[in-house]
Structure 1
Amino acid sequence: MRCKSKAGKSDLYRSHLSHGPITLGLACFLTMLKRIWGQILVLSGASGFADLRSNRFAPDAAKRYRRDQIIATLDQTQLLLLGNTLFAPILAFQALPSGSLPLLIGWTLVMVFGSWALFFWTRPLYRCTGEVADLTRMKQRAFIDGSFWWMGMACVYPHATGDAKALVAIIVTGAVALGTFGYSRSPGPGMIYLAMTCLGSGAVALVTGLTVGTPSDILVPFLSIFAFVALSKSVLDRGRAILQSFENVEKLSEKSEVVELLLKDYEAQATEWIWQADAAGRLTAAPDLIVQLLGGTDATQDDQPLLYRVGEKISPESRADFDRMTEAVRNREEFYDIVLAFPDRELDGLRWVVVKGRPQFDNEVFQGFRGIVADTTQAVEAERQVQYLAAFDNLTGLLNRNSIQKRLGDLDHQKDRVTAFLIDLDGFKQINDSYGHDIGDALLRAASDRLQALATDGAWAARLAGDEFLVVVPDTQTTCSKSRLMFGHEICDRLSEPFQLADFELQISASVGMARFPSDTDKGQDLLSLCDLALYDAKDGGRDRAHAFDQAMLDQLNRRIAVIERLKAAVRDQKIQLHYQPQHRLSDGCLIGFEALARWNDEDLGTVGPDVFIPIAEQTGLIVDLGEQILRNACTDAHGWFKMLGSEAPVVSVNISPVQFARTDVSRSIANVLAETGLPAQLLEIEVTEGVLISEKSRVATTLTELSTMGVSIALDDFGTGYSSLSYLKALPLNRLKIDRSFISDLAKDTESPIVSTVIQLGHNLNLQVIAEGVETDTQVDRLIESGCDEGQGYYYGRPMPLAEVNTYVAGCAATSRAGKTG
């Protein structure tokens, strides 16, 4: 029964095999393939197959990657298709003795004609763009191609015996090898082909071994699986290598594109390039800019030497550098810093280049020159602009101060004779402020044009600063000062003529200071200072005139410098003394106060009047410290009188300069001094002039109000000599008006003085006390009393006295006052 059973089972397999070996093989193969393919899908991630997909690239790169795979695979599978047509008949021949002839012939025809059909079907893929569908067609080709071989294995292998079966295995192995090589550039189709051939053939051998074969046939499937794994790894490894190569090429391409863009951008913006010339001097390499400057493409295509073309095109002003380069080229020596200028239509001017070159030798054989050429146009123009600005005024085009001072410094007193005219435009500031800076600049240009028209025959014209100009005219041995002063007046007349600027007709005047070289000074650099002294004298004399320098001006300047230096020391050492001039009530002659007056007796300069050192102190700023010293000393002295006389003590009047109002907090300073000295505020009077009120009226008014609130009296000094604005009298907290001495002196000549009477009446109407300065005679006293004046100050009552005399004077007045009350 057991044998029968076995025999029956064997017959059953033989029966199936004889009726449908392909069907049986296909059933077994599909079952095995399903299981193996499932494991392949599970292991694909671990094997790295997923990493080979094209979706890791950008769309364009992915297309290129797929197209490269397809075309390379098409090229390599041509040999496989040829092998199909050769090995198919041989494989079918091995099964003829026991196989089905129609089946074998049919498979052979399908294999041969199918391979050629595949060839022509996939031939258009050479023109593909690398779409996913193109790669799908390649996978379909691999599937069909592999299917041919495992079906051939199914038709032949079960019927082959002995050596024929070994030959079949060898042929199939060759087909696998050829397919592995053919599809190795495309991992997807390659894996499909290997699966169909290796696993399909192994399945056929397994079925054969289990049915009609020998135990050795059972070994073939395991060998097939091993071959599949080994060859799959090879396909995957080569796929990774191809992928890595493609990625490297893509990265290199991207870098190349970036580098190319950078190079193009550099070439577009670069200012330095390489040039080269051969041994004959012909230009072989140069940037486009240089080629164009040399005459276009002919510069590198004809046989003319480079030096010939450069010499033909350069501007004459670079001829010296060109000659230096020519000498170096002839001697085959290195040259550098050759600056050449070429006319350039694009710039509508000159294009400047700097050239460096070095001779090239090969085994001591001269090959030509190679070097660097740089576009230095901007640098040269910038340097020229700097040089221009260093020597010329940018607004007017005249020489500037630096340039004129250098020229004056270069004057030689043994051979040069010139007259310099320093010109200042009178009223320019008002025009500039009223009409705007554009009109002001236009006026300066127009004035400079007139000066240039006058400055002929080698004369220089310069703008020093603002509205100040200088004209230097050459002299001869016979040129006299009188004729040159007439030229100065001509400058004044010419600049006084109206200027038509835009829609405005403007008129100014000019003040001119003149000095001569070497008659006034033998140092050219001092000429400007001497002109300045003469100009100051011209402006002080009323403007619109020309004054010549004389030695008295320099003596006055030196005296002023000496006064400034000694005044600094005197203020520092507090050597400015106070004298006091008494002030009396006119009706009864009673002493009411003293005006503090500064006096300075210097050990080197002697006595220096306040009309000299006070203006200098204001101009130099020394008045701030000096004014505070005077205020403190006056309050200290007045406190002594207060201790002597109590409430009947005289008031002390102290002048406050406009500079003090501008630079210090006057009210706080006075409050501090009163607190330090202990002087009651009602015994201090502050005198201000109308000049204090001109600039910062609101600020000064606030300060005076604060002082009045403290109890300090406010007196308006020199009323009637300035603007005499009645708004001052109404708006300010004043207590007294002081009539200037110039009006009081007229009382001795005229029986009546309308001005004095008017001022007195005006003061009384405003509830102000009125004091007259410069009272010297009985007649003046009588007439002031008749006019209703309240108080007087002058030599009639006493000259300014030092403190010791003042104390005696105060004591005497106090005794007289007590005697009068007793009597």
Structure 2
Amino acid sequence: MNGPQTATPDYLTLRDHPRARAAAFDSSPLPMALLDRSGRVVAANHALGRLLGTDPATLTGRAADSPSVLRLDGRARDDYRAALRGRTGPTRHIHRVKQGDGNPLWTEVTLTPLSATADAEPPAPAGEAATPTTLLTVHDITERRSLQEQLRHLRMHDPVTRLPNRALFFERVAAALADSTTGRIGLCYLDLDGFQAINDTLGHRVGDRLLDAVARRLTHCATDGGTGGHLVARLGGDEFALLLEDSTGTEQATDLADAVLAALQRPFDIDGHRLAVSASIGVVERRCSETSPTGLMQAADTTLYWAKDDGKARWTLFDPERNAHRMTRQSLSARLRPAVERGEFLVEYQPIVGLADDRLRGVEALVRWMHPELGRLSPDRFIPLAEDNGAIVPLGRWVLTEACRQARRWQLEHDGPPLFVSVNVAVRQVWDSDLVRDVARVLAETGLPAELLQLELTESAVMGSAGQPLQALQDLSDMGVRIAIDDFGTGYSNLAYLSRLPVRALKLDGTFVRGFRTARHLNPADETIVSSLVQLAHKLGLTVTAECVEGQSQAERLRRIGCDTGQGWHYARPLAPDRISGLLSGD
């Protein structure tokens, strides 16, 4: 049965009728051109002429990338010519093209080899001998590109201050490191001092308006005084950054930091509130070849921390030596707990001598770290770190055990009055561990009598004690353990308060004793202060030990004043346990 005839598809009609193909090409709303092997225009349609603001016939014979056609230059021209030479298949490139009136357009230019899409010869104007080999089409994507740029702007800028955000900031840092004309880069990384209190008390609306006002002042600083349009970004919270992409040196960066500090000193008037904030600024300036975006920010973050630690409302310049010291501290801090477990510590003992008879009465246990790489480290190198990160608890427990075990060994091996051993205790040991239970366990395990153990706490840790610390001190005293205040005279010096604490001994800070060195440098005030402290301490039933005794004249004057015991290099430096055994044996 014969049915109705099916209509011939358009592409077959065009293939079989050259005139129809030419008409479709010319009337297409899509800008197109036919190019020969050298990239010259064989034919251009009216849509391309309208796009470029010219008669399409005038484009014939011209190179498609020339100033009179697509007006490509630089990288756009290189990409176009590479695609034209390839001719292996359709290629698409985004190019910025100038219209006839000079206004730019963003276009997507597609090059399609004709041999891959047509069986017949493409149309050519009458009299044109060149054979077209490539179809060029041009899509106007200006609106799409504009929308993309708007979305990117929203994505890369802070909504509160409209400044570049962290993502865009790091893009610009990476670009500056690669393209800086001076080969140097600078950064001022700042944090607002006092902003959080304003945000918490007055609310986020006022806080956001304050951040916007700060951003405007920072932008003014970055463009004023010939500093030249440096990038200002909000990195989050109350943190901002000013990037010197073509830095001329440290002085330029520090001058900018000074300008920022001066600008933020002026109060801000926000919603009827007169608000004051300051800034701490970390300043980094270095060669581009010597850093990376991550390295630059790490240095800036470290330096900002220094600025806050140094007192806030200031800038601090990155110091490689200070940073190396910080890195060493971090490394030591991280290795403290494992070092205790590996047994890298040892205890030495400094004699405590009776001033009246020069007889050895006790010893102070002093811990040393035998570091595998750095060698022997004194307590001042690691004890503050241990107190900060909590390693002081296991370390202090180990020192206590070792010192009590050694003191018991001396008691068993030598005749005569036994030595007491004095062990330093950090206040964190009282809060973060059961010090009373630890001491009771160690005394039971070692067999050392409680009266031969003295625990030293700093004056600032003991004064004002309440709750757990005070109860722990009382329990230890009830157990028979002696409680001593170390470095007395450097803190509160409230002797009246001592009457309510279970303290048995005071250790005078060495700053008082140093004034006793020679009669030539005698300071009468020092002797008056020490004499008064000793008399008051004795009235409270406390014994007094003078630290840092370095000479005979000091020892004599302290004895005359009535100080009970002395400790220092005049008698001995900290010694190994066998050296203390020698002293006990009279060797």
Q: Same fold (TM over 0.5)?
A: yes
Is the 2:477–2:502 contact (alpha carbons within 8 Å) kept by the matching residues of 1? yes
Structure 2 match to 1:266: none
Identify which of 470, 473, 476 aligns with 2:243.
473
Is the 1:685–1:713 contact (alpha carbons within 8 Å) kept by the matching residues of 2? yes
Is the 1:413–1:517 contact (alpha carbons within 8 Å) kept by the matching residues of 2? no
Structure 1 residues 645 and 548: CA distance shift in structure 2, 3 A: same
Residue 756 of structure 1 aligns to which amino acid in structure 2?
V
Q: How far off is 1:533 after superposition? A: 2.8
1:632 aligns with 2:398: no
Residue 546 of structure 1 aligns to which amino acid in structure 2?
W
Identify which of 167, 187, 191 aligns with 1:420.
187
Q: Deviations over 1:216-257 (max 9, x none)?
A: xxxxxxxxxxxxxxxxxxxxxxxxxxxxxxxxxxxxxxxxxx
Structure 1 residues 610 and 445: CA distance shift in structure 2, 3 A: farther
1:655 aligns with 2:424: yes
The residue matched to 1:760 in structure 2 has which SS?
Answer: helix
Structure 2 match to 1:254: none
Map 1:387-426; keep pairs closer than 5 Å: 404=169, 408=173, 412-415=177-180, 418-426=185-193
The residue matched to 1:556 in structure 2 has which SS?
Answer: helix
Q: Deviations over 1:107-149 (max 9, x none)?
A: xxxxxxxxxxxxxxxxxxxxxxxxxxxxxxxxxxxxxxxxxxx
| 2: CA distance, partners of 1:441 / 1:739 | 55
User: Which structure has the bigger radius of gyration?
Assistant: 1
The residue matched to 1:767 in structure 2 has which SS?
Answer: coil
Map 1:93-112; keep pairs closer than 5 Å: none
Structure 2 match to 1:155: none
Residue 439 of structure 2 aligns to which amino acid in structure 1?
I
Structure 2 match to 1:781: 555
Q: How far off is 1:644 after superposition? A: 3.1
The residue matched to 2:541 in structure 1 has which SS?
Answer: coil
Residue 515 of structure 1 aligns to which amino acid in structure 2?
V
Identify which of 449, 454, 459 aligns with 2:231.
459
Structure with bigger RCO (C-alpha 8 Å, 6+ apart): 2
Structure 1 length as normaliser, TM-score?
Answer: 0.47
Is the 2:516–2:554 contact (alpha carbons within 8 Å) kept by the matching residues of 1? yes
Map 1:165-564; keep pairs closer than 5 Å: 404=169, 408=173, 412-415=177-180, 418-426=185-193, 431=197, 437-438=201-202, 442=206, 446=210, 449-455=213-219, 456=222, 457-464=229-236, 469-476=239-246, 479-498=248-267, 509-516=278-285, 518-519=287-288, 521-564=290-333
Identify which of 771, 784, 788 aligns with 2:545.
771
Is the 1:439–1:501 contact (alpha carbons within 8 Å) kept by the matching residues of 2? no
Aligned residues: 423
| 2: CA distance, partners of 1:581 / 1:557 | 31
| 1: CA distance, partners of 2:464 / 2:165 | 34
Residue 579 of structure 1 aligns to which amino acid in structure 2?
E
Is the 1:760–1:788 contact (alpha carbons within 8 Å) kept by the matching residues of 2? yes
Q: How far off is 1:710 after superposition? A: 0.7
Structure 1 residues 515 and 582: CA distance shift in structure 2, 3 A: same
Q: Deviations over 1:148-173 (max 9, x none)?
A: xxxxxxxxxxxxxxxxxxxxxxxxxx
| 2: CA distance, partners of 1:627 / 1:784 | 31
The residue matched to 1:734 in structure 2 has which SS?
Answer: coil
1:795 aligns with 2:565: no
Identify which of 435, 438, 444 aligns with 1:675.
444
The residue matched to 2:448 in structure 1 has which SS?
Answer: coil
Is the 1:396–1:463 contact (alpha carbons within 8 Å) kept by the matching residues of 2? no
Q: How far off is 1:627 after superposition? A: 1.2
Is the 1:398–1:448 contact (alpha carbons within 8 Å) kept by the matching residues of 2? no
Q: Deviations over 1:311-363 (max 9, x none)?
A: xxxxxxxxxxxxxxxxxxxxxxxxxxxxxxxxxxxxxxxxxxxxxxxxxxxxx
Structure 1 match to 2:459: 690
The residue matched to 1:770 in structure 2 has which SS?
Answer: strand
Between 525-534 and 451-460, report the one with greater CA deviation: 451-460
Is the 1:521–1:527 contact (alpha carbons within 8 Å) kept by the matching residues of 2? no
Residue 649 of structure 1 aligns to which amino acid in structure 2?
P
Structure 1 residues 741 and 405: CA distance shift in structure 2, 3 A: farther
Is the 2:495–2:537 contact (alpha carbons within 8 Å) kept by the matching residues of 1? no
Q: Deviations over 1:651-707 (max 9, x none)?
A: 111111232223111111111111111111111111111343589742211111111
Percent identity, aligned pairs only, is 34
| 1: CA distance, partners of 2:254 / 2:174 | 23
| 2: CA distance, partners of 1:520 / 1:689 | 49
| 2: CA distance, partners of 1:581 / 1:746 | 22
The residue matched to 2:282 in structure 1 has which SS?
Answer: strand
Is the 1:421–1:515 contact (alpha carbons within 8 Å) kept by the matching residues of 2? yes
Larger fraction in strand = 2
Is the 1:579–1:800 contact (alpha carbons within 8 Å) kept by the matching residues of 2? yes
Residue 662 of structure 1 aligns to which amino acid in structure 2?
W
Q: How far off is 1:717 after superposition? A: 1.1
| CA RMSD across the alignment | 3.5
The residue matched to 1:648 in structure 2 has which SS?
Answer: coil
Structure 2 match to 1:120: none
| 2: CA distance, partners of 1:590 / 1:796 | 13
The residue matched to 2:461 in structure 1 has which SS?
Answer: helix
Q: How far off is 1:737 after superposition? A: 1.4
| 2: CA distance, partners of 1:567 / 1:686 | 23
Q: How far off is 1:509 after superposition? A: 4.5
Q: How far off is 1:547 after superposition? A: 1.6
The residue matched to 1:775 in structure 2 has which SS?
Answer: coil
The residue matched to 2:467 in structure 1 has which SS?
Answer: helix
